[in-house]
């Protein structure tokens, strides 16, 4: 009793720390096994993920109910940090990697770091949602824009990128230092969605110019951006993960979440088992659960993350998602196309463009 | 009975199956080769296409190389959905500008050679192990021109082989399915054809089996021209059998009749003799009985001799027979018997002739003819026997003539004289009516012809013409 109480306290402390810290690196959370018998055999499943632990916890619970002897040690981190750590620390690799940065996950799988696993649960998910039985997509999430409606002051809520640009033009100096977006040089997900915008739309260049002119603030993760939005530090947050944004919109009515109607980028969170996983069997069971109707149901009902499966029902199911106003859904394909996002030369070009826009003197930009 | 040989049907099926299997295995093998080549070429093209798209987006500006790889290059690679892909872009100093830094077996020598020859770059394909998997690479050079300076960059794109293997397997499997289907359809068709072709034989067999053993009329079956000769032979054989059988039936009936009549005569004469009280008359009757009994004995002997001859035909092969010697001997044997009837036998002719034949049968024939001639000769008559050579269309033939001076034979009787038990209505001499038939049988057995002519002024000439054939020799 005492031990679990202490652990529970530790959990709370950790989570506080996570939310308080805007530029966090790692946070470590242990979910002890459900078996309360003394001296029982306990296995540890180590999971590294760039998924909010509150969102993923219901899934861990479901796993532990099935396998009560397994403790889960979850390390939550930013997508790029996770990737770099995976490459640089080959001795500290998890049993399962979870991340929405599809390109980085794909690069690891393409480079042969992933274990092939022909999960029997693959039949439950669409065909394009896994690659080579190595990389498994398990969510279907829109990339959205969140707006603090206080800024509108009577204006209509913009629905597309074009309307967003109009709003920025109208509000002009009001939005100086009041817009937020991912720092693409530090967030893998930020880079992925930004580079994908570059492939999709002409408005990309004008958006970049607008963000640069108004000295947009840069963040490394969604939660800190949403916090800044809540506190009024920013009024517009561009390219957020939809799941978190919608949760905040439910809590705080003045925060509006928009799926741009010109096109809505869809990302998949992906999971893979590293080849040198310590507990491949436990990891395979986790993948099975993740893809199973049961696991997908947990996502759609408890995690608030839209699952990849079209069959499950729940408040966050794909059915419900498509009932919200949205544009053409443009899922980022889970395949070799993602290699372009990891190309160094391409990255340098995008960084160069980005740096020019974001860190140049306003005088230079206006020329 | 002939030993059972292999069935035509089984042989045909075996041959057809062997040929089919051989053809199909050949087809499968070529399909496999073709499938591999096709898959390889198609996916090599994709690889090359991807490299070309990358090359197109590499440019030089102010001595700096700008690389802006297009998504389409990777989308092309992504067409093989389950393959890993690797790429690298390097400059002429082996520095990796972007992409994978540790690609294996890069053909620098060839690339640099192409580079130094200042000609168009052609793609170089090669395979190498990379990250524990076999990877197919294409290496392609691109010349970057800026002012007077020339810089070459090299693009290397590689992909694992899953998709090509899958494609090759798919084509091969389709070929396998097709070939299997083809094999069975062809086999079925051929089995049907074989059955159809052999059907007439079955029909003939069926027709023969269904017949009663007595029925020997020709088979009437509709058969193809190849089988027709067989059917014809069978029908010919059956016709022969039929006529033989008929002759045998008639002969048996005649023989029975011929024996029954004298027996009945004997019976009544014996009865009469018992009843006769006059000793003189009884003696006469007994004399009649003896004569009848002799005649009967003679008839039975002739029948036996015929049976003996029939048996000999089947069991005794021919051997060279000196014809003139046999004739002389026969004449000698009969001369005493002839003199008792006051008839002379005269042998004319001085040639020697040898034929292939059965001496016993020939002697029997001669005996019967000469006896017959003596029997119908008047008292004091002469029977002339002559062996001679006659040229018929300049072919020499051995001809035997037996000439008597009896009453001769009417033209009408000449047709029947050789039939069994034929007795001319106006013939009163005693005889069995078998002798000449036997003679004719023997002659036919030796392929000799019988010919009857009238003698001058009166009498009959029996001519036996031996065929010109191997084993026959003569000297004048």
More confident residue, B218 or B142: B142
Longest dimension (CA), chain B: 170
Residues of A in CB contact (< 8 Å) with B are: 110-112, 131-132, 199, 333, 335-340, 343-346, 349
From chain A, the residues in CB contact with B73 under 8 A are 340
In chain A, the residue whose alpha carbon lies closest to the alpha carbon of B88 is A343
Residues of B in CB contact (< 8 Å) with A are: 66-71, 73-75, 77-78, 81-87, 89, 97-99, 131-133
| Cα(A184)–Cα(A190) distance, integer angstroms | 5
Test the B interface: residue of A112, A339, A342, A349 with most B CBs within 10 Å = A339
pLDDT at B472: 63
Instruction: Report whether pLDDT(B453) > 80.
Output: yes
Our measurement of the distance from residue B193's CA atom to the centroid of its chain's CA atoms, rounded to an integer in Å, reads 19
| Cα(A258)–Cα(A160) distance, integer angstroms | 8
Test the A interface: residue of B65, B70, B73, B74 with most A CBs within 10 Å = B74
pLDDT at B53: 95
Residue where the block lists tokens 């050079």: B141
In terms of C-beta distances under 8 Å and separation of at least 24 residues, what long-range contacts does B30-37 make, across chains too? Answer: B31/B171, B31/B172, B31/B175, B31/B176, B31/B179, B32/B168, B32/B172, B32/B175, B34/B171, B35/B167, B35/B168, B35/B169, B35/B170, B35/B171, B35/B172, B35/B175, B36/B168
Nearest to B74 among A111, A112, A337 (CB): A337
Nearest to B67 among A333, A339, A345 (CB): A345
Nearest to B74 among A131, A336, A349 (CB): A336
Residue A283 CB contacts under 8 Å (≥ 6 apart), including other chains: A45, A95, A96, A115, A273, A277
| Cα(B144)–Cα(B147) distance, integer angstroms | 10
Taking residue A75's Cβ as centre, other Cβ atoms within 10 Å add up to 17
Residue (of B279, B404, B393) closest to B341 by Cα position: B404
Angle at B407 between CA B403 and CA B409, to 5 degrees: 80
From chain B, the residues in CB contact with A111 under 8 A are 84, 131
pLDDT at A359: 82
| Chain B nearest C-alpha distance from A45 (Å) | 27
Residue where the block lists tokens 């893998």: A188
Residue where the block lists tokens 């042989």: B11
pLDDT at A365: 43
Phi, psi of A251 (to 5 degrees): -75, -45
3-state secondary structure of B59: strand
Q: Do B85 and A111 touch (CB under 8 A)?
A: no
Residues in chain B: 476
Q: Do A345 and B97 touch (CB under 8 A)?
A: yes
| Cα(A235)–Cα(A217) distance, integer angstroms | 11
| Cα(A302)–Cα(A61) distance, integer angstroms | 11
| Cα(A62)–Cα(A78) distance, integer angstroms | 24
Q: Do A346 and B133 touch (CB under 8 A)?
A: no
Q: Do B99 and A110 touch (CB under 8 A)?
A: no
Nearest to A344 among B77, B84, B98 (CB): B98
Q: Which helix (H) or strand (E) holds B327?
A: helix B323-340
pLDDT at A270: 96
Give the pairing of strands A43-49 and A96-99: parallel
pLDDT at B211: 82
| Chain A nearest C-alpha distance from B193 (Å) | 50
In chain B, the residue whose alpha carbon lies closest to the alpha carbon of A342 is B99
Angle at B143 between CA B138 and CA B149, to 5 degrees: 150
Question: Per DSSP, which regions of B414-470 are E strands?
Answer: 449-454, 460-466
Show the tokens assigned to A20. Answer: 């308080």
pLDDT at A20: 34
pLDDT at B364: 86
CA distances to A74, B208, B283 from B222, in Å: 92, 14, 71
3-state secondary structure of B204: helix
| Chain B nearest C-alpha distance from A19 (Å) | 37
| Cα(B445)–Cα(A74) distance, integer angstroms | 117
Task: Identify the sign of the CA torsion B464, B467, B472, B475.
Answer: positive
CA distances to A29, A42, B138, B299, B326 from A37, in Å: 22, 10, 60, 129, 131
Highest mean predicted confidence (pLDDT) among A24-28, B57-61, B303-307, B434-438: B57-61
Test the B interface: residue of A109, A336, A352 with most B CBs within 10 Å = A336
More confident residue, B261 or B47: B47
Q: Which helix (H) or strand (E) holds A44?
A: strand A43-49
| Chain A nearest C-alpha distance from B77 (Å) | 7
CA distances to A230, B34, B180 from A251, in Å: 10, 64, 67
Q: Do B132 and A344 touch (CB under 8 A)?
A: no
Q: What is the ipTM of this complex?
A: 0.86
Test the B interface: residue of A192, A335, A350 with most B CBs within 10 Å = A335
3-state secondary structure of B337: helix
pLDDT at A273: 97
Residues in chain A: 367
Q: Which helix (H) or strand (E) holds A161?
A: helix A161-171
CB B395 within 8 A of CB B358: no
- Judged by average pLDDT, the poorest of A25-29, B179-183, B231-235 is A25-29
Q: What is the pLDDT of residues B323-375, one digit of tens each?
A: 888 998 898 888 888 888 889 888 887 788 888 888 888 888 888 888 888 88
Longest dimension (CA), chain A: 72
Residue A116 CB contacts under 8 Å (≥ 6 apart), including other chains: A132, A133, A134
| Cα(A284)–Cα(A102) distance, integer angstroms | 20
| Cα(A56)–Cα(B62) distance, integer angstroms | 51
3-state secondary structure of B257: helix
CB B78 within 8 A of CB A336: yes
| Cα(B67)–Cα(B55) distance, integer angstroms | 9
Residue A231 CB contacts under 8 Å (≥ 6 apart), including other chains: none
Nearest to A335 among B69, B81, B89 (CB): B81
Nearest to B77 among A199, A336, A346 (CB): A336
From chain A, the residues in CB contact with B97 under 8 A are 345
Q: Which helix (H) or strand (E) holds B56?
A: helix B8-56
List, in order of start, the domains of chain A with CATH numbers. 2-140+268-334 (3.40.190.10), 142-266+339-366 (3.40.190.10)
| Cα(B463)–Cα(A251) distance, integer angstroms | 142
| Chain A nearest C-alpha distance from B175 (Å) | 27
pLDDT at A108: 96
More confident residue, A236 or B312: A236
Show the tokens assigned to A21. Answer: 């810290």
Give the pairing of strands B352-357 and B133-146: unpaired
From chain B, the residues in CB contact with A335 under 8 A are 78, 81
| Cα(B44)–Cα(B97) distance, integer angstroms | 24
Nearest to A112 among B69, B71, B131 (CB): B131
From chain B, the residues in CB contact with A132 under 8 A are 82, 84
Q: Within 13 Å and on the Cβ side, how many CA atoms surround B313? A: 13
From chain A, the residues in CB contact with B83 under 8 A are 336
Phi, psi of B215 (to 5 degrees): -85, 120
Q: Do A343 and B69 touch (CB under 8 A)?
A: yes
| Chain B nearest C-alpha distance from A212 (Å) | 23
- Whether a cis peptide bond, with omega within 30° of 0, leads into A81 is no
3-state secondary structure of A253: coil
More confident residue, A11 or B236: B236
Q: pLDDT-derived band of residue B256, with 50, 70 and 90 as boundaries?
A: confident
| Average pLDDT per consecutive 10 residues, chain A (367 residues; last block may be shorter) | 43 38 66 81 91 91 94 92 92 94 95 95 92 95 93 88 92 90 90 92 88 92 89 93 90 93 94 95 96 95 92 92 90 94 93 88 46
Nearest to B82 among A132, A344, A345 (CB): A132
| Chain B nearest C-alpha distance from A354 (Å) | 15
pLDDT at B428: 54
Q: What is the pLDDT of residues B373-409, one digit of tens each?
A: 888 888 888 899 998 888 878 778 888 899 988 888 8
Averaged pLDDT for residues B428-453: 78
DSSP A260-325: -SSEEEEE--EEE-BTT-S-HHHHHHHHHHHHSHHHHHHIIIII---BS-SS--STTSHHHHHHS-
| Cα(B100)–Cα(B105) distance, integer angstroms | 13
Q: What is the pLDDT of residues B196-232, one digit of tens each?
A: 888 888 888 888 888 877 777 887 777 788 888 888 8
pLDDT at B446: 84
| Cα(B103)–Cα(B100) distance, integer angstroms | 6
Q: Chain A to chain B, count of Cβ pairs less than 8 Å apart?
A: 54
pLDDT at B425: 60
CB B137 within 8 A of CB B48: no
Task: Indicate the burial class of B464 (C-beta count within 10 angstroms; 0-12, 13-18, 19 or more).
Answer: buried
Test the A interface: residue of B54, B84, B98 with most A CBs within 10 Å = B84
Nearest to A349 among B68, B99, B133 (CB): B68
Phi, psi of B73 (to 5 degrees): -60, -40
Beta pairing partners, B143: B152
């Amino acid at each position: 009793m005492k031990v679990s109480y202490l652990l529970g306290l530790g959990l709370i402390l950790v989570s506080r720390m996570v939310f308080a810290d805007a530029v966090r690196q790692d946070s470590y959370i242990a979910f002890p096994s459900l078996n309360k018998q003394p001296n029982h055999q306990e296995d540890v499943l180590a999971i590294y993920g760039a998924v909010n632990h509150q969102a993923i916890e219901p899934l861990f619970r479901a796993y532990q109910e099935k396998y009560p002897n397994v403790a889960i040690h979850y390390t939550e981190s930013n997508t790029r940090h996770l990737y770099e750590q995976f490459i640089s620390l080959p001795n500290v690799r998890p049993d399962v990697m979870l991340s929405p940065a599809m390109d980085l996950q794909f690069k690891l799988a393409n480079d042969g770091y992933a274990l092939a696993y022909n999960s029997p649960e693959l039949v439950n998910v669409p065909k394009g949602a896994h690659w080579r039985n190595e990389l498994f997509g398990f969510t279907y999430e829109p990339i959205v824009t969140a707006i603090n409606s206080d800024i509108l002051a009577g204006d209509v809520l913009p629905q597309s990128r074009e309307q967003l640009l109009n709003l920025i033009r109208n509000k002009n100096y009001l939005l100086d230092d009041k817009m937020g977006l991912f720092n693409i040089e530090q967030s893998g997900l930020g880079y992925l969605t930004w580079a994908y915008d570059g492939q999709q739309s002409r408005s990309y260049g004008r958006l970049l110019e607008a963000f640069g002119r108004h000295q947009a603030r840069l963040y490394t993760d969604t939660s800190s951006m949403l916090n800044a939005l809540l506190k009024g530090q920013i009024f517009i947050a561009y390219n957020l993960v939809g799941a978190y944004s919608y949760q905040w919109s439910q809590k705080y009515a003045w925060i509006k979440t928009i799926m741009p109607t010109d096109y809505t980028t869809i990302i998949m969170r992906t999971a893979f088992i590293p080849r040198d996983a310590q507990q491949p069997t436990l990891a395979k069971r986790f993948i099975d659960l993740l893809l199973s109707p049961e696991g997908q149901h947990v996502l759609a009902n408890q995690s608030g993350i839209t699952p990849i499966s079209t069959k499950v029902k729940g408040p966050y199911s794909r059915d419900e998602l498509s009932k919200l106003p949205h544009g053409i859904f443009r899922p980022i394909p889970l395949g070799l196309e993602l290699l372009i996002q990891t190309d160094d030369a391409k990255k340098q070009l995008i960084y160069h463009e980005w740096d020019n826009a974001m860190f140049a003197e306003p005088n230079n930009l206006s020329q | 009975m002939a030993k059972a040989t292999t069935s035509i049907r089984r042989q045909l099926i075996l041959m057809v199956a062997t040929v089919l299997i051989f053809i199909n295995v050949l087809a499968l093998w070529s399909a496999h080769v073709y499938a591999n080549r096709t898959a390889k070429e198609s996916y090599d093209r994709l690889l090359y296409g991807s490299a070309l798209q990358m090359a197109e987006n590499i440019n030089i500006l102010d001595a700096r190389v700008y690389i802006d790889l297009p998504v389409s290059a990777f989308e092309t690679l992504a067409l093989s959905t389950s393959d890993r892909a690797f790429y690298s872009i390097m400059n002429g100093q082996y520095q990796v500008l972007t992409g994978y830094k540790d690609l294996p077996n890069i053909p620098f020598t060839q690339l640099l050679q192409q580079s130094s020859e200042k000609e168009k770059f052609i793609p170089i394909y090669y395979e190498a192990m990379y990250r524990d998997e076999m990877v197919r690479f294409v290496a392609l050079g691109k010349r970057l021109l800026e002012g007077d300076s020339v810089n070459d960059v090299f693009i290397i794109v590689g992909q694992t082989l899953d998709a090509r293997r899958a494609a090759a397997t798919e084509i091969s499997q389709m070929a396998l399915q097709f070939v299997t289907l083809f094999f069975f359809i062809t086999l079925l068709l051929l089995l049907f054809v074989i059955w159809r072709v052999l059907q007439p034989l079955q029909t003939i067999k069926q027709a023969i089996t269904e017949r009663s053993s007595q029925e020997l009329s020709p088979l009437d079956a509709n058969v193809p021209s190849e089988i027709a000769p067989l059917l014809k032979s069978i029908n010919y054989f059956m016709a022969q059998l039929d006529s033989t059988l008929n002759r045998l039936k008639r002969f048996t009936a005649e023989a029975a009749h011929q024996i029954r009549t004298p027996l009945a005569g004997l019976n009544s004469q014996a009865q009469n003799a018992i009843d006769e009280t006059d000793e003189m008359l009884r003696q006469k009757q007994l004399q009649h009985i003896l004569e009848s009994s002799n005649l009967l004995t003679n008839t039975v002997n002739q029948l036996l001799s015929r049976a003996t001859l029939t048996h000999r035909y089947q069991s005794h092969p021919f051997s060279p027979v000196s014809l003139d010697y046999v004739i002389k001997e026969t004449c000698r044997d009969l001369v005493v018997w002839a003199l008792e009837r006051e008839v002379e036998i005269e042998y004319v002719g001085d040639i020697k002739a040898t034929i292939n034949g059965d001496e016993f049968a020939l002697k029997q024939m001669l005996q019967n003819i000469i006896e017959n001639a003596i029997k119908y000769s008047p008292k004091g008559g002469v029977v002339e026997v002559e062996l001679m050579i006659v040229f018929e269309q300049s072919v020499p033939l051995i001809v035997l003539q037996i000439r008597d001076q009896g009453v001769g034979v009417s033209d009408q009787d000449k047709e029947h004289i050789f039939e069994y038990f034929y007795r001319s209505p106006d013939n009163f001499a005693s005889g069995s009516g078998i002798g000449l038939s036997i003679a004719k049988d023997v002659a036919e057995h030796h392929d000799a012809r019988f010919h009857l002519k009238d003698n001058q002024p009166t009498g009959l000439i029996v001519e036996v013409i031996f065929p010109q054939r191997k084993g026959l020799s003569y000297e004048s």
